[in-house]
Amino acid sequence: MNTMRTKQGCCLAVFLGLLAAGCSTPSYTTSSYHPGPVAGRAVGTGVGVVAGNAAGFVVGTGEGLVQGATAPFDTTTHVVRRWRTETTADGRTIQVAEDILVDSQGRPVNAVAPAPAPAAPANP
C-alpha cells in the first residue's frame, strides 16, 4: 500500500516538474506577426498533446493488465494478533493471544475449522 502511494507521489512530482519546465516564453526566430510560425506551434502543441495522451493510455493499459495478471500470485502475508478473554477453572479472567495469518487483503490464509459438536448419544 505504501509503495503505491509512493509511486503516485513520484508520478505527480514528475508531472508537475515537466509542466513547470514547459512554462517559458518562446523565443521566436521569425516574426510573430506571420501566421505560419504561430499556426505551426499551435498544430505542434495539439499533435503533441494527442500523441502524449495516446502513449499514456497504452502504457496505463499495459500496466493495468500486468498488475491484474500478477494479483492472483501475490503471496504477501502478515500476522494479526487478536486477544480474547477466557475464564480459568479457578475463576480468574485472563487474556489469551490468538495469532491469525492473513493475506494482503486481510483474509485468513488457513481458517481454523470450528470444533466438531459432540455426537448425540444413541437411543437404545
Helix (H) or strand (E) holding 53: helix 35-70
What's the CA gap between 51 and 57, in Å, rounded? 10
Please give the residue that has the higher pLDDT: either 54 or 27.
Answer: 54
User: Whole-angstrom Cα distance, residue 11 to residue 5?
Assistant: 10
User: Looking at the domain assignment, is residue 41 inside a domain?
Assistant: yes
Rounded to an integer, the average pLDDT of 47-72 is 92
The count of domains in the chain is: 2
Is 56 within a domain? yes
> pLDDT value at position 107?
86
Where in the sequence is the domain holding 95, given as residue range(s)?
75-111
Residue 119 has pLDDT above 90, yes or no: no
Cα separation of the two ends of the chain? 62
C-alpha cell, 21:
519546465
Check pLDDT > 70 for residue 111.
no
Is residue 1, in this structure, part of any structural domain at all? no
User: Do 83 and 57 fall into the same domain?
Assistant: no
Cα(102)–Cα(123) distance, integer angstroms? 44
Tell me how far apart the alpha carbons of residues 99 and 82 are, in angstroms, rounded to a whole number. 6
In a domain, 81, yes or no: yes
Secondary structure E strands in the chain: 77-87, 93-103
Q: pTM of the full predicted structure?
A: 0.41
Read off the C-alpha cell for 106: 486481510
